[in-house]
Every structure is written in C-alpha cells, then in structure tokens.
Amino acid sequence: MKGFHLLYMATTIDTIFKALKDINRQRPENDQLELHPNTPIVGAKSRLDSLALVNFIVAVEQHVAADLGAEIVLSEDRTLGDEATVLADVSTLARHVDTLIQESRDHGSKA
C-alpha cells in the first residue's frame, strides 16, 4: 500500500509541476521556479509574490481537476490558515492535495 501512495504522490507532484510551468510562462527567463519537490511555495525562500501565489493555487486546482479527476479547493481556511506547513514546498503541498483528493472521494462515496 505504501508503494501505491508514493506512486500516487508522484503523479500529484507532476500535476503541481504543470502549475509551476504555468507560472514560469509568466515569469522572466532568469527568474524561473525550479521543478523540484523541495521548491518553496511560501516563506522566506519563496520567490512567489502574493499574486503569483494566487495564480499558482488556481492552476493547481485546475490541473488536479483535469489530470486527477478531483475537485479540490486550496483557497479554503484549512489550507491558507496553515500555509506555513501546507504550502511550504511542492512535496508538502502534494501530501495536502492527496489528502483533499482522498477526502473528496470518501465524501463522494458516502453520498
């Protein structure tokens, strides 16, 4: 089961990388964000200003819907209220997205 989760998380990271590529298309060539699990999203080492962060969050939501078939909302209090940990870097965001996807699927199966 752990191997399945790691494979699924890799897919989620790839989806987040697509959102980073969207943001990179809007940035100068000399200021591109690295496509790496440790790329900071918020915090002192992040290179995203508030507008780029909002654009990134929207892009992640859109790519998750298109690529993973799940509707998630990252602009909720649970994500933004804990942004220092949830949005610290790509890998922590991927774990959070996986949790939201699982909760969405669990909720959908109970309806």
- Structure confidence by residue, pLDDT tens digits, 13-46: 999 999 999 999 999 999 999 999 999 999 999 9
- Structure confidence by residue, pLDDT tens digits, 47-94: 999 999 999 999 999 999 999 999 999 987 666 666 668 899 999 999
Separation CA 41–CA 73 (nearest Å): 17
The structural domains of the chain, ordered by start, are: 2-110 (1.10.1200)
Cβ–Cβ under 8 Å, residues 63 and 16 = yes
Q: Which residues contact 76 (CB under 8 A, 6 or more apart)?
A: none
Separation CA 89–CA 41 (nearest Å): 5
Prediction pTM value = 0.84
**What's the alpha-carbon Rg for the chain, to the nearest Å?**
14
State yes or no: pLDDT of 108 exceeds 90: no
